[in-house]
C-alpha cells in the first residue's frame, strides 16, 4: 500500500509562483494542458429487460446435490434478436453440473428485451454470470452490455484543430495557492444524441476552477460527429483535462504498471470481500487500465487490447473497489490511471473470520 501512496500527493506551487500572484491575469501554456478521453457505454438497451415471473429456483441443498461441497459458476453470452423472443444463449465458461446447469438455461429462456431495435442498431449482446455456493445458494450477477453492441458510428468524432486557450484570474490562482497544489482538473461528460448538425451536451462532473471549466466548455462546443443521423443511439464519453500551473506535475501512482496482487493490498476493506474469479477462462494473462474517479463517480476498469466478454464481471468488480487513501490523496489522484497485470489462476477471496 505504501508504494501506491508514496507519490499520491501532488507537488506544491514552486517559489516562482509568488511572482505570478501579483498579476491579475496570465495565460496557461497549451503544453500544460492534458486531456484523457474514455468512452462511455450506453446501457439503455438493457433497461427494458424482462426477466420473467419464475425466479431461479435453486436451494443450497440442490447445489450440494449437483456439485458436492464445491462452489461453481456459469458465464453466458445472451444475444437478443427480436422483442418477443428469448435470447440465443452461448455458455462461455461453466463448472456447474446437472440440475444447476439446466435450471439456469430454463431461467434465461424467460428473458425478453422488448425495446431491441428501438434503442440499438441490430441485435443486443450482453453477458451474465451466475455463482453457486452450497452454503450461500445461487447468486445471479447483473447483465453487462457486450462491446459489439456499441454504436459503430462512434469512430467519426471530429475534434477542433485549435488548442484550448485558457486564462486564470487572480481569485482562481489564490484558491489553488491556498490548497497548496499546482494542478487543476476538469472532468466532463460529453454526449451526442442528435444528428450530424447537433452540438454535444456537456455535463461537468468535477471542476477545480471555474475559469478552466469555461475554457473547456468552449472547446468542447466545437466537437462534432458528421456521420450521425437522426435516431442514432446516443454516444457519450468522459474527458479529463489537467492544467499544470507553473510547470508543476499531477500526482501519479508509484508505478505505471502494478501486479494485480500488489494492487489489491491497497484496496479498502479487501479482507471483507467475497469473490471467486477463474482467470484461466479470461484469455489470461492480460492487462487492465484502472482509473481512480472517486468520489466524483465510480472508478473505471477496461481491458487493454482485444475485447473478451469473459472478463465483464471481473471488470465490474474492479470498478467497485476503492483505494485506502486519505481525502487529500484521493483528490490528488483523481482521473489518474494505473495498468494492472492480471495473471492466470484463480482469484478467490473470503471474509476474514471474526476474532474469538
Share of the chain above pLDDT 90, in %: 31
- 343 occurs within a structural domain: yes
Which of 219, 119, 203, 200 is closest to 157 using CA atoms? 200
What is the tens place of the pLDDT at every residue in 9-55? Answer: 222 223 222 222 222 233 333 334 556 767 766 666 788 899 888 88
- 159 occurs within a structural domain: yes
What is the tens place of the pLDDT at every residue in 43-72? Answer: 667 888 998 888 888 878 877 776 666 677
Which of 133, 169, 122, 141 is closest to 58 using CA atoms? 133
What is the tens place of the pLDDT at every residue in 180-228? Answer: 667 888 999 999 999 989 999 999 999 987 788 888 999 899 888 888 8
**Is 171 found in the same domain as 99?**
no
**Is 102 found in the same domain as 56?**
yes
- 176 occurs within a structural domain: yes
| Number of independent structural domains in the chain | 3
- 186 occurs within a structural domain: yes
- Give me the domain span that covers residue 172: 11-42+154-247
pLDDT at 322: 94
Residue predicted with more confidence, 301 or 56: 301
- 98 occurs within a structural domain: yes
**Is 89 found in the same domain as 132?**
yes
Tally the C-alpha atoms within 13 A of residue 129's C-alpha that lie toward its C-beta.
21
Q: What is the 3-state secondary structure (H, E, C) of 119-157?
A: CCCCCEEEEEEEEEECCCEEEECCCEECHHHCCHHHHHC
Which of 352, 309, 348, 302 is closest to 146 using CA atoms? 309
**Is 207 found in the same domain as 125?**
no
Q: Tell me, what DSSP letter sits at residue 352?
A: P
At residue 313 the predicted structure's pLDDT band, cuts being 50, 70 and 90, is very high
- 1 occurs within a structural domain: no
Q: Could you tell me the three cell numbers for 178?
A: 491556498
At residue 288 the predicted structure's pLDDT band, cuts being 50, 70 and 90, is very high
- 356 occurs within a structural domain: no
**Of 247, 278, 302, which residue sits at a domain end?**
247
**Is 140 found in the same domain as 52?**
yes
Amino acid at each position: 500500500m505504501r508504494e501506491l501512496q508514496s507519490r499520491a500527493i501532488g507537488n506544491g506551487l514552486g517559489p516562482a509562483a509568488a511572482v505570478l500572484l501579483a498579476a491579475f491575469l496570465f495565460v496557461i501554456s497549451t503544453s500544460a494542458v492534458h486531456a484523457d478521453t474514455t468512452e462511455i457505454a450506453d446501457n439503455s438497451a438493457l433497461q427494458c429487460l424482462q426477466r420473467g415471473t419464475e425466479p431461479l429456483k435453486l436451494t443450497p441443498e440442490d447445489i450440494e446435490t449437483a456439485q458436492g461441497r464445491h462452489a461453481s459458476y456459469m458465464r453466458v453470452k445472451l444475444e437478443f434478436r427480436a422483442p418477443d423472443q428469448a435470447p440465443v444463449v452461448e455458455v462461455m465458461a461453466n463448472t456447474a453440473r446437472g440440475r444447476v446447469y439446466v435450471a439456469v438455461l430454463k431461467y434465461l429462456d424467460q428473458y425478453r428485451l422488448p425495446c431491441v431495435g428501438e434503442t440499438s442498431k441490430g441485435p443486443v449482446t450482453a453477458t451474465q454470470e451466475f455463482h453457486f455456493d452450497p452454503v450461500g445458494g445461487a447468486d445471479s450477477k447483473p447483465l453487462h452490455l457486450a462491446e459489439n453492441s456499441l454504436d459503430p458510428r462512434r469512430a467519426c468524432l471530429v475534434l477542433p484543430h485549435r488548442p484550448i486557450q485558457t486564462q486564470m484570474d487572480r481569485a482562481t490562482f489564490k484558491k489553488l495557492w491556498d490548497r497548496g497544489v499546482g494542478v487543476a482538473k476538469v472532468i466532463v461528460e460529453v454526449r451526442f444524441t442528435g444528428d450530424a448538425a447537433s452540438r454535444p451536451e456537456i455535463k461537468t462532473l468535477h471542476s477545480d476552477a471555474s475559469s478552466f471549466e469555461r475554457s473547456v466548455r468552449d472547446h468542447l462546443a466545437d466537437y462534432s460527429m458528421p456521420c450521425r443521423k437522426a435516431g442514432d443511439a446516443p454516444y457519450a464519453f468522459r474527458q479529463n483535462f489537467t492544467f499544470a500551473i507553473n510547470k508543476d506535475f499531477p500526482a501519479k501512482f508509484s508505478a505505471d504498471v502494478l501486479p494485480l496482487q500488489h494492487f489489491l493490498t491497497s484496496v479498502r476493506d479487501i479482507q471483507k470481500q467475497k469473490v471467486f474469479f477463474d482467470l484461466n477462462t479470461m484469455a489470461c494473462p492480460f492487462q487492465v487500465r484502472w482509473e481512480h474517479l472517486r468520489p466524483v463517480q465510480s472508478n473505471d476498469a477496461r481491458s487493454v487490447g482485444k475485447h473478451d466478454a469473459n472478463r465483464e464481471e471481473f471488470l465490474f468488480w474492479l470498478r467497485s473497489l476503492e483505494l485506502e487513501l486519505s481525502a487529500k490523496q484521493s483528490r490528488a489522484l483523481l482521473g489518474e490511471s494505473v495498468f494492472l497485470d492480471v495473471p492466470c489462476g484463480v482469484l478467490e477471496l473470503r471474509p476474514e473470520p471474526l476474532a474469538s
